[in-house]
Structure 1
């Protein structure tokens, strides 16, 4: 039973580390697309919303777009982007930024490196606080179990 006090915080730490890696990868992909110098005109093929929550929690709605563009090499690329602008509708033409290596990781978000850095930094700080809490919980729990064992020995 004591192992549960170690296993659960370690699992939380692992999940938070995976989330941190995902946040950094997403930020690097957007930054690479903006800095590549490659742009194309893309058509918005579809817009749709996804919702989550409900019941006892607030409902969250997210706008998604599906874009299609042609690279300089003539390859047609279709990609989906979450959280786009509400002013972009089906049939609209937008500028997308992409890299030659991975055009499917394109973004229609206009370059905003400061906003990207701030958002990534806040997310990583949030994860770090919870990881520190989990590590502190493990240390305190370990000390509590080890001192409890001293009282129980004859």
Structure 2
């Protein structure tokens, strides 16, 4: 993790508006935000700059979020960075793939703003915890709470 006072968060989404909505949601934190438009850019950014957290869209053209996460995990080795999967696809197959790709958390779209902020706060807070995984079980009504940001 980045040892400087300000944490650096990477948002990966091929839809610029979605990335900008996520960026606006994260403005409540004292973090520097980087944006990648696809999995290839995300992998390159991980190689070039220290990051503290990655918000990874799953469905992207080219290198999707699953494959990008596998490459990032392989590149980082022991120096891991939390990665949150973000997708509108909440099928059991996708949830299983999220677990297999070793995401640290999963958030369905549309984004539940308080839930996203709680997960981010947990992962970028100065207090290190051993277990930052958010359940990736079957989606429940809690995923559909208002207010939800319209990130598609």
By percentage of residues, which structure has more helix? Answer: 1
* TM bin (shorter chain): under 0.3
User: Relative contact order (C-alpha < 8 Å, sep 6+): which is higher?
Assistant: 1
**TM-score, normalised to structure 2's length?**
0.25
